[in-house]
Structure 1
Amino acid sequence: MAAISPYPPIVTYSHVALYTRISKDKYGNAETCFDQEAIGRRYSDRMWPGVPVVVYSDPDLSAFEDGVYRPGFEALKEAIGAGLVLHLWAVEQTRLERQEAPWFHLAALLDAAGIELLHTHRDGIVRVQDEVAGIKAVLAAAEVRKMKKRIADKFDAQAARGVPPGSRPYGYVHGRLDNGDRTYVIVPEQAEAIREAAGLVLDGWSLENIARRFRDRGLKGAHLVKVRDENGEVVTDESGRVRTRASEVTAAAIKGMVTSRAVAGINVRRGEEVGDGNWTPILDKAVWRQVRAKLAGGRKVTTVNGREYVISDKHRGRTPVRKYLLTGGTGVCGVCEAELVGSDKQLRNKSRGVYTVPYLFCHPKTGGKACVGIMALPTEEHVIAELFDEIKRRQDDKLIDDGAVGARREEITRALDDVDEQRKDLARMWALRQLNGVEWAEARAALDAEQYRLNGELRALPSPSQGRDATEILADWAVMTLDEQREVVRDYIDKVVIVRARPGLQRFDSDRVKIIWRKPLRARPGD
């Protein structure tokens, strides 16, 4: 039997539709889509001999959670709506839908298409508009809710014992304690990288500069990515398996590795801290708190020409909407010198099919003649990397005397720990009904205000390190607004010129990007 395609079938003829779906448990026990297809084909040959069969499959896509997009199921509904499905088969009713409301929507669609019966292997022939089918849908949905509750209770109990979640943070691998509980085991090389990155953040290094330093040393990320050739196609080995490689270390990865609660030994359940984990921390909590405060807080930034602006607290905890950094006059065509504009463009290749990417164009609306075009994201990444290097070259190192601030840093850290303990005490008092709702809300607000004040003071303290790479302007690049990022770019760059692509080259070419730098306001040492 041929391998199951990850893409929905496209047919224009009347047929018998077989729907298969499976979600494997953690032990791999499951009835595969191949098994279901074989059962369905035998049934179809017996019931409707000679009628074409089309298989709609969603291997390893669950209907257990709400909102899961199943391409095979969506293609099946389109075929039903188009009147192409003569008969429908599934191994059981719940393979199609486990939730009551979506089942009734599907039943209405089948009824409108004249399909009164759902043929199944385990449930027999189901009349889709019959009360029995509706009752089965309601019972299946109730069982799903009970199962979710049982699983949630199990994970809550494990989290209370310090058992980590199933995800694997950078710096650790999964392990087991003597009692069988899951835990994290430190990976020495990755843990040392986390400690070094935390120190560099406190020294004022930008996240991209830290990432470049690690890449130059050959350090790789913790996850695997698909290997692609120069045309962007996925590479496979002789047996047809997709080849993978270790991921690259990026600025976003650096931020994630030093701000993760796991590296401070803090266990998290449903987004809330539930206490210390059963593993060894990589970063001391005091250092971890100051790193997070450094990266997340508002502060004043001074540009190279002396202008100042504030990276405010309104940017904390959100990712700016991705726009075009090099539009507005910075990016220009290397042929006609017109300003570049940004827009989405559809591309196509064999492995990904048709997909959309942000693109920079020489466009007639800005006086261009459609001379050049280039993918926006890799272009911006290249320009940002060069910008970071230039800023580093132009600025002198500064020395900071830590002096007596270390004692104050420890006091603030202890105070923040006290706030966390008070918050836990409030939660216990609320659970025991020792506080009413108004009292709890007022006490919680007071603790939030105190935590905000302490974090602000912690951010203002100088780094405990003596050496500082003066890249303050870019240390919080990831939380700047687009206008703030453009302000930095304009302070250093006059134009980014995009020249024409080399014929036949189907990948990003950094040689096409020519950066024209503004003259430094003060000469570099030795110039």
Structure 2
Amino acid sequence: MKPQRAVLLLRISYRKPEEGEEEQAEGAERRRAEFSKGIGRQEEDGRALADRLGWKIVKVIPEDDTSAFKRRKIKLPDGSTALRTVRPGFRAALDGLASGEYDGLIADDLDRVARDPRDLEDLIDVVESRRPRIPVESVTGSLRLDNDANITMARVMVAVANKSSRDTSRRVTRKHEELAAEGKPPGGGYRGYGFSAVGHKPIEAEAQILREIAARILGDWDGWTADQRAAIDPEVGESLNSIAADLNRRKVPTVTGSPWRDRSVRSVVTKPSVAGLREYRGEIVGKAVWDAIVPQDRWEQVRARLAGRNRAVDLTLKRWLTGVLRCSNCGHQLIGWQGNNGPRYWCAKPHGGCGKIAVKAAFAEDEVSRQVLELLGQEDVLRRLRTVADTEVTDEARAELAADEEQLKVMAGMFARREITFNEYREGRAIIQQRIRESRALLTSRAPRVLRRLLAAADVADGWEALEPAGKREVVLALIPGYEVLPHDRSQGNRFDPGRLVPIEG
């Protein structure tokens, strides 16, 4: 009997721009049009085949921007992880065939259905689960599973297609590795904010915005009014939400035309390309051939400051132990919260916590302040901190950082000339980059600056009280990694027990 509830499976790959990228205007419409035409042609040809065969199609499943070859690490139902192609549309078609919702499958070609042998085997299992076998047809005739000979041929063709994809992937990967080692742009039809797609040259209007964003984050922008400047702590800088709101108010365009958000502001200013650095697979591999828009040392300060902000949920925080206290039950950060009995720190359920640990804010802050001042009252501790706060990075340390960066550049050149393998390059780069990270952490650390302000006061206790909430938090985290908050012992009534705050070992 000819299928009367067949499913038509369509697939085409089309990479969309990532956040901070924009497709060239002259290519965007063409790509979208080609994508639409490609899917349209497949559907038209599939329906024509169904008419010739006398099949009735009841469902069309388009897999747009979907690869049948690339695999991702996913969690399986048994809790283990494995590499699999991620194709919800294909899986929906299989489920429908297995359940009897569909009684046949049509596709344009075998490689539109599967380029991974495991996917083909899953389809074969479903097809052979019924007697007679579930009919499968393709426009090109390359996909038939009605007998063992056709199944064997399909297996061979998918194996060949898989090898072809692997060969292409290897060549493309090798080319990108070479471009990265030479510091050249990766190419393609998309561009990052601040740079042209062709030649990767800085676009001055966007470069000015990037430098402005960096200055606002670092707290030294000269575009603030006197009132705005007075309201911003230079040690904290302006919030990303505030920057995004101002850029939207001024109608500063993004590369995609969508409004600015805190995430897009962060994304465009933290990309290594902005500092004239070449990144490959999430790692900086050396200097780029293009000029930096934001100087590297300043860009590193921006990254360090934004990393420090991750400890807090609010840059204008009142509850300065946010990011310092951790739940002893689930390990989640306690955050400032307005409860029925006043301010408290809570392992907030709405933010992913367990909701089981809370402590009154005033009690916790008073106790941590007492411990900090007690620690700073110890002469040997105070002496060591003053040494750290007053010691500048030596010329020798700067020279070591420069030497490490130069060594990375030399190694990249050796790899580009194929004097060393990629594994040798990667192993050596990992060692050098660890030294570079340690040096940069020393250069961009905020703790010495906060301590300098505190220790410069005639009286440390007065200096502590004069600190902004964010400064207090930084001092605490410079001295103690944080505190674990234990559950409240109800047998003691409502009395606060300082023993609930257990310092986390550094």
State the AA in 1 paired with 2:44.
A
CA-CA distance at 1:90 after TM superposition: 0.4
Give the distance between the partners of 1:135 and 1:194, measured in 2 at CA: 55
Give the distance between the partners of 2:89 and 2:469, measured in 1 at CA: 50
Instruction: For residues 436-481 of structure 1, give each alpha carbon's deviation from its aligned partner in whole angstroms, at most 9, with x where no partner exists.
Output: 98xx979965873575156225425649xx9x995644998xx99x
Matched, 1:282 2:293: yes
Residue 415 of structure 1 aligns with which residue?
400
Pairs within 5 Å for 1:481-520: none
Give the distance between the partners of 2:433 and 2:46, measured in 1 at CA: 61
Pairs within 5 Å for 1:183-222: 183-186=201-204, 187-200=206-219, 204-206=234-236, 209=239, 211-212=241-242, 215-216=245-246, 218=249
Match of 2:138 among 120, 124, 133: 120
CA-CA distance at 1:254 after TM superposition: 4.6
Residue 382 of structure 1 aligns with which residue?
none
Instruction: For residues 33-66 of structure 1, give each alpha carbon's deviation from its aligned partner in whole angstroms, at most 9, with x where no partner exists.
Output: 22211211122122125x4532122233232422
Match of 1:74 among 91, 96, 99: 91
Unaligned runs of 5+ in 1: 1-12, 226-243, 313-319, 345-357, 367-404, 488-527
Give the distance between the partners of 2:153 and 2:411, measured in 1 at CA: 49
The CA RMSD measured in Å over matched residues stands at: 5.4
SS at match of 2:106: strand
CA-CA distance at 1:331 after TM superposition: 3.8
State the AA in 2 paired with 1:190.
I
Pairs within 5 Å for 1:274-423: 274-296=285-307, 325=335, 330-332=338-340, 408=393, 412-423=397-408
Give the distance between the partners of 1:101 and 1:446, measured in 2 at CA: 40
CA-CA distance at 1:135 after TM superposition: 0.2
SS at match of 1:32: helix
- Alpha-carbon spacing, 1:305–1:182, altered in 2? closer, same or farther (3 Å): closer
- Alpha-carbon spacing, 1:470–1:168, altered in 2? closer, same or farther (3 Å): farther
- Alpha-carbon spacing, 1:280–1:44, altered in 2? closer, same or farther (3 Å): same
State the AA in 2 paired with 1:455.
A
Matched, 1:42 2:48: yes
Match of 1:145 among 166, 181, 195: 166
Maintained 8 Å contact 1:15/1:85:
yes
Maintained 8 Å contact 2:244/2:260:
no
TM-score, with structure 1 as normaliser: 0.56
Instruction: For residues 277-298 of structure 1, give each alpha carbon's deviation from its aligned partner in whole angstroms, at most 9, with x where no partner exists.
Output: 3433122122223333444479
Give the distance between the partners of 1:359 and 1:458, measured in 2 at CA: 31
Give the distance between the partners of 2:341 and 2:322, measured in 1 at CA: 31
1 or 2, which has the higher strand percentage? 1
- Alpha-carbon spacing, 1:417–1:321, altered in 2? closer, same or farther (3 Å): farther
- Alpha-carbon spacing, 1:300–1:116, altered in 2? closer, same or farther (3 Å): closer
Give the distance between the partners of 1:216 and 1:298, measured in 2 at CA: 20
- Alpha-carbon spacing, 1:64–1:223, altered in 2? closer, same or farther (3 Å): farther
Give the distance between the partners of 1:52 and 1:444, measured in 2 at CA: 55
Matched, 1:267 2:278: yes
SS at match of 2:185: coil
State the AA in 2 paired with 1:273.
I
Matched, 1:162 2:184: yes
Residue 19 of structure 1 aligns with which residue?
9
SS at match of 1:262: helix
Residue 402 of structure 1 aligns with which residue?
none
State the AA in 2 paired with 1:72.
G
